[in-house]
Structures are given as C-alpha cells and as structure tokens.
Amino acid sequence: MNETLSLSGVELRRHASADYPVADPAFKPYAHQRELLELFRTEESFLAVNDSPTGGGKTMSWLAPVVESGEHALAVYPTNALIHDQERNLRSEFAENFPDTRLGEDTKILTVTADSLRMEYAEEFPDADSNGDRLRRLLRREIYYREKQVILLTNPDIFVMMRRGLYGREGNPGSEVRALNEFGTIVVDEFHRAGRKEQNTLLFLLDEMYDIDDYRCGLSRIVLLSATPTDWLEQRFVDAMSPPYIRVTDQHEDTERRSFADSPTSGWGAVMPPVELDVRTSSTFGTVDELLGDDWEETREFAARDGKTVFILDGIREVDDVYSRLNAELDDQEVVRIDGFHRGDLESKLACFDVLVSNSAVEVGIDFTVDRLLFSAHNQASFLQRLGRLRTETESQSARCYVPSIVSVALEGLSETDTIPRTALIDTLTEAYRDPRDRKSFDWRYSAAEAAHHIRKRTWNANPELADRIRERGWERITDHFAPDEGLNRSDVERYVDIIDGPIENTLQWYRGDSLQVLVYDRTGDSHDPLRSYDLFYLLRHGDVRFYSRSTFEEIVLNEHQYAIRNSASFVVGFCTYDGTIPPNEDGYGRDVVLRATPEIYSWLDQEDRTNTRTPRVVNDLSVDVRVNDGSRRIDTIENLRDGMDELELLCYIVDQPPWEVANQYDLGPFFFLYGIQVRDELRSIAIGTDALFLHCAVKDEHEAGGLERFGVDI
C-alpha cells in the first residue's frame, strides 16, 4: 500500500473560568481540566480517567487541583526520561502559573529513580546502606519532618517495590516504605502504555491502598492519564475497583472536542494539527530496508526539505544505518541521533538539528520542534505516540509511516474519506493491531497468583484477626479483578494459584518481570552516562563488545563508577565494554545468537516431554552461543559471560518448535522476545521472564480451547 490519508486536526473548547487556580486571569481551561478540578473540590474519593488527546493539557488537569489542595501527591511515569521531562515542566508551571506557591518552601518536587537513589541521594544520606534505606530516609524527612507539600515523581517499578515491601533491609527483607501511605492522590501517566500484566499489577495495588482504613493510608483519589479505555478496562474500573469511577471526558465529549481541517475555531484550542499521512508497508525492523533501498531517493528528499525532520524507528540497528547514510549524504544539514547509546549533549542536539534520527527514546519525555515526521510503528501505542509528536497548532503537516501489512490494509479502507477524524483512525488501529501479551487468560492463570502471593506476605506480620481480614478481603479482590465473568469461583482460582511455585511467584511480584541485562561501559563518547545496563541479546547480535569478569571490569572502568557497579552487580548477568556496532553481514543481519541447553534443562525436558503439559520453571543455569562465519565478528571473550550465567535464576518456558514456527503458530509478532535454544540436534524456542508466562498462556489456550468453552470461559 502507498496511500495518503488526510487526518483532521483536533481542537478543544476553552472556557472562561474566574476561579481556576492559576495566576494568569486570562487562562481559559478546557472542559476536562474544569471537570477534574470540580471532582477534587466536591468528591472525597474517586478513580478518574482523563483520556483527552495528546497536547490537551492533561498535566495541568491534575496539577492545579493538587496544588490547590495542598496534599501530598505521587505521579507515576512509564520512563525515567519522562520523569525528568515532567520535572522540568512542573517547575516551569509553578514559575508561570503558581507564583504564590514557593517551590522548596511551600511545595517540594522530588524525583526518585534508581539512578537518583544510587547517586544524588547517596550523597545526601551517606550512612544509608541501600537504595531502600535512602528512599525511606528521604520520604521520612520530607513528609514527616518538614511542613510542606510533596509532589513525588517516580516510575511504576519503584511504586510497586514500595507497596510490596521489596526494598528490604538487614533483618527485615520485607520492610515497608511507610511514607507511601501519606499520599492522598496518585496519578498514573500513559496508563495505556502498560501491558496487561503491568496494568493488572497497578490496578490491584491501587485498589488495595484505597481500601485500607483512612487512619493507616491516606489515598483517596486515583487519576489515570490515558488513551480511551478498552471495554475490559472500563469493566474493571466499574466492577472491580473500590472508588467510584468517572471518565472526565465522557459527559461532554461530543460538545467539547471536534475536528478541524484548516484552522481552529475562535475560542477553541488546537491540540493536534491536520496531517497528510503517507502510509507504507514494511516488516517490523525492516523499515530500514525500505528507506535505504527502493525508497532511498524519496527518503533523502524528505529529509532535505527546509525545517526540522524527525525519523522515529524501532531499533538501534535501524537508527544506526539511517543516521549513517543521511549524515554522509546531507552535507548542508545537521544530522543527529538520539538513542540509548547516544544521549550525550542532548540539549544541544535538540537545539541545532535539521534531521533527527531516533527510536522510542524520543517518543515521550523529550520536547522538540518537528516540521515533518517519518516513523515506523509496531503497535497501536507506538503509532499514536509517534504521530503525536506533530503538535503545531494550525498548519497542516506531512508525515510518512511504515506499518505491518495487516495494518496498511486496514488503513486503506479509510482512504475513501476526504478528511479522516482522529477517532476513526484510532478505531481502525485498535482493530488492526494485536498484542500477543494481551491475553485474558493471563489474569486468572498468573495475575491472580501474583496477587495471592502479595496477600500472603501482608499477613506475615499481622495479628490473627487482621490476617484473617486481609485474606478474606484479598480473595474477594482477586476474584473481582481477575475472574469476574469467567465462570470461575475462588476455589477454581486457588487451583491455579496452588500450581505456581515460589520462584515463579517471586518473578511475578516485580512490575516488569525478569530480563537478561548486562552492565555496559560505553566507550563511544556520545553518552551522558557511560555506565548503564542494557539488553544482552541486542549486544550479542549487534554490539562491538568485550566481556570481562567483575574484577577485571572494575579495573577498566573509571573510579567514579565503582559505586554504581556495586549497586548494579546483583541485577546483571555480565559486564562488558561497548565500542559501537558491528557492520551487518552480507544478508544485512548481525550475529546469530542461540542459547544452549544445560544438564538442568535436559533434565527438565525429560521430565516434561510434551509442550502442552510443560509448565514454566526457574532455571539456575543457562548458556549462550554466538554463531558467525566471519572471524572478525567473533566475541572472543564470551566465556566470561558464560561464567556469569552459571548461577542464574531465570524464569523460562520451552516450546519444541523453532522460533519462527512458534511465532507463526501463536501469532506472537516480532516484538515478542522469543529465542532459539539448541537441544541435542534440534532448535527449539525459549521465552524468558514474564514472556515465558504469556507464551505458556498461548499454548494452554490453544490446547484447552474446546474444554474451557464448554464451561463458559471465554479465552
């Protein structure tokens, strides 16, 4: 397909509001901002979803009432980059719109990430011996000993660790961060970008916090900033969550938001411009072949136009190839790249670029000007997020997207309409994209077990009467959240919980689950932080890397990073230096990476010799192999990595066919991380971490489909 879609702009009605709590008397809020303010003023408790469009002022919608209330608030953002971007935005909002509220004296903005706990707060609390100890001391000082409002910005992982007591300390590994209970409002930004497992985790914990007695926990207001909720989420909000549910755009959606084609209406604010969207087809991670192959002349012309052009692609390998080609060809333009390994001099890059080549690193959390956009999109969230980078108020802009063939066919049906409303685009994308991790059976197979494990931990230090209450209310909440209409009762769900062993429960309790990460010392010189953890498989496929023992790695890395190594060592499987990427082979690919079966895995497969009866399990030993034909692409130091993987505890699930067959059979798509594992003379498939659980659900759903349907269970 090569079709151009004319997307309408989006405008929201502004309203005069003399009592809106900002300094500028000329400020005219949108309806969703007024509605949320009214909720804060009139309702003691609620779960509010604000699904107003990108650029429509969702941050102000919660910030103004929180500042007016003077209560502590916690804001949860999906990435650390977005946390830092929002901190800058909030400080700017305070200076411009809340000058009477003195930052640092009346209100304190705190940002908490693993990096800030490891670095900034380590200097503030030199006697603290762990990130958890620093976090407890920080919040105790700011909330209990200083009379000021606290607005805490953090990520979902840290919120879950605080709530579940995962910030342990010597003698008390399940110790709580008690100050979490002092926050009256919790805001979750970009809620729709969380996967099913993550949404289940957040909603269950938020619901539980809300339901705790007021004298023990102050949470009364939950605000989700999100795309329009799906039907199953709406059902969860209404039937499972304890606070009353309000969708703040629901009552006035038809009168407060509308499309425009040329320029916004007087009295309305444009939040998205009209866009001429050129839709093309490519495979995921295959966009680079189109851009630098048949479409190269158009690619070059697109990038060479006046103004600022932005490319947002799926993988670092694609970014590297497109950046290198454009940088070599466009002599008169400033071509820059931003990705996980190239974030150095970020502000100067954004200020001076003519062409920016990036990946998900700029989807959220970075503000920049863009006149035209070229992007690939492997799922609906990435499509809308990347398209949403076009935010000028009135002028029509041009964009080109590369999408999978099934999506391009679906979008082709829109091309018969002269001007396409954004709502029609969203509806089409919702039907076209499918998420292999969005499986309903995951709720009662695994999220119920995750919640049951959490409830058991809560009863450990409780007196018998309180423990009974926690168990009883906990099981009510589990069935409400994870088996409300499945024909499953508590005893049915308990059977699924009982077959989950301890190691799997331990994996589930974390927000994102397990992954294989390596601590990397980046020697390319284009990074603001040369030491970071990164995905092992990308490094093995594409990285110019050398692996070391921890002791040798510590000798190589500068002294200033020794503390970071100590804090990160227990979370990684190895240590390496990184000197950029290797050139692709003659077929355009990197190294071939295959895991190798160990005696432990052979024993597992002998015990459970059929895929459909095999269950995920934690293995303590895993080995990796890199296959190359060209000796210059070898990794001579890989034995140092293997030595570090000898004592792994990693959740795995193995299917007896090779990865490409498994991906096709279960419709997993290229962003489901499935790896090859050599078992004797056969190549089989292995999934790791929570992906092992999703793959197990896919296998069981297919195998049990007939039997479950007879009992009224919809999978």
- Sheet containing 531-535: give its strands across: 531-535, 517-522, 574-581, 543-548
Identify the band that residue 172 occupies on the pLDDT scale cut at 50, 70 and 90. Answer: low
Fill in the amino acid letter for 146.
R
User: What are residue 397's DSSP bridge partners?
Assistant: 275
- Sheet containing 9-13: give its strands across: 257-260, 9-13, 268-272
What does the pLDDT read at residue 589? 78
What does the pLDDT read at residue 101? 87
pLDDT above 90: residue 250: no
pLDDT above 80: residue 166: yes
Following DSSP, what letter does each residue of 71-98 receive, concatenated?
A: --EEEE-SSHHHHHHHHHHHHHHHHHH-
The predicted-structure confidence for 71-113, as pLDDT tens digits, reads as follows: 999 999 998 888 988 999 999 999 999 998 888 889 999 999 9
Identify the band that residue 173 occupies on the pLDDT scale cut at 50, 70 and 90. Answer: very low
pLDDT above 50: residue 709: no
User: Are 12 and 52 within 8 A, CB to CB?
Assistant: yes
Identify the band that residue 566 occupies on the pLDDT scale cut at 50, 70 and 90. Answer: confident
User: Are 158 and 44 within 8 A, CB to CB?
Assistant: no
What does the pLDDT read at residue 175? 64
Q: Which of 384, 150, 393 is nearest to 270 (CA)?
A: 393
User: What are residue 335's DSSP bridge partners?
Assistant: 355
Side-chain-side CA neighbours of residue 686 (13 Å):
26
Residue of 429 and 669 predicted with greater confidence? 429
Place of tokens 């005893």: 491
The mean pLDDT value for 284-311 works out to 93
Fill in the amino acid letter for 209.
M
Over the chain, what is the mean pLDDT? 88
Identify the band that residue 710 occupies on the pLDDT scale cut at 50, 70 and 90. Answer: very low
Place of tokens 């992954």: 515
Fill in the amino acid letter for 393.
E
pLDDT above 90: residue 568: no
pLDDT above 70: residue 523: yes
Q: Which of 161-165, 249-253, 460-464, 703-707 has the lowest mean pLDDT?
A: 703-707
Spatial separation of the C-alpha atoms in residues 211 and 197, rounded to whole Å: 21
What does the pLDDT read at residue 396? 87
The mean pLDDT value for 236-251 works out to 93
Residue 336: which residues within 8 A CB-CB, separation 6 or more? 349, 352, 353, 355, 356, 357
Residue 624: which residues within 8 A CB-CB, separation 6 or more? 536, 540, 593, 594, 595, 596, 638, 641, 642, 645
pLDDT above 90: residue 47: yes
Output the pTM of the full model.
0.91
What does the pLDDT read at residue 689? 86
The predicted-structure confidence for 343-360, as pLDDT tens digits, reads as follows: 878 888 989 999 999 998
Identify the band that residue 486 occupies on the pLDDT scale cut at 50, 70 and 90. Answer: low
Task: Please give the C-alpha separations between residue 700 and each of 527, 583, 666, in angstroms, as whole numbers.
Answer: 44, 41, 11
| Domains located in the chain, CATH noted | 11-253 (3.40.50.300), 258-432 (3.40.50.300), 441-508 (no CATH), 591-715 (no CATH)
What does the pLDDT read at residue 706? 55
What does the pLDDT read at residue 170? 47
Q: Which of 161, 168, 221, 156 is nearest to 194 (CA)?
A: 156
pLDDT above 80: residue 594: yes
Q: Which of 91-100, 130-139, 506-515, 695-704 has the lowest mean pLDDT?
A: 506-515
The predicted-structure confidence for 686-705, as pLDDT tens digits, reads as follows: 999 889 999 999 999 998 87
- Report the share of the chain in percent with pLDDT over 90: 53
User: What are residue 592's DSSP bridge partners?
Assistant: 627
Identify the band that residue 171 occupies on the pLDDT scale cut at 50, 70 and 90. Answer: very low
Task: Please give the C-alpha separations between residue 707 and each of 241, 616, 704, 712, in angstroms, as whole numbers.
Answer: 30, 22, 5, 9
What does the pLDDT read at residue 181? 94
Looking only at the bridges linking them, the beta strands covering 46-50 and 650-655 are unpaired
User: Are 63 and 90 within 8 A, CB to CB?
Assistant: yes
The mean pLDDT value for 220-247 works out to 94
Task: Please give the C-alpha separations between residue 694 and each of 90, 322, 705, in angstroms, as whole numbers.
Answer: 38, 33, 16
Q: Which of 454, 296, 312, 457 is nearest to 383 (CA)?
A: 312
Q: Which of 173-182, 322-331, 337-346, 677-686 has the lowest mean pLDDT?
A: 173-182
Q: Which of 289-303, 501-515, 646-660, 691-705 has the lowest mean pLDDT?
A: 501-515
Spatial separation of the C-alpha atoms in residues 447 and 445, rounded to whole Å: 7
The mean pLDDT value for 515-533 works out to 83
Identify the band that residue 533 occupies on the pLDDT scale cut at 50, 70 and 90. Answer: confident
Q: Nearest 5°: CA angle at 528, between 379 and 315?
A: 25
The mean pLDDT value for 554-560 works out to 85
pLDDT above 90: residue 177: no
pLDDT above 80: residue 509: no
What does the pLDDT read at residue 462? 85
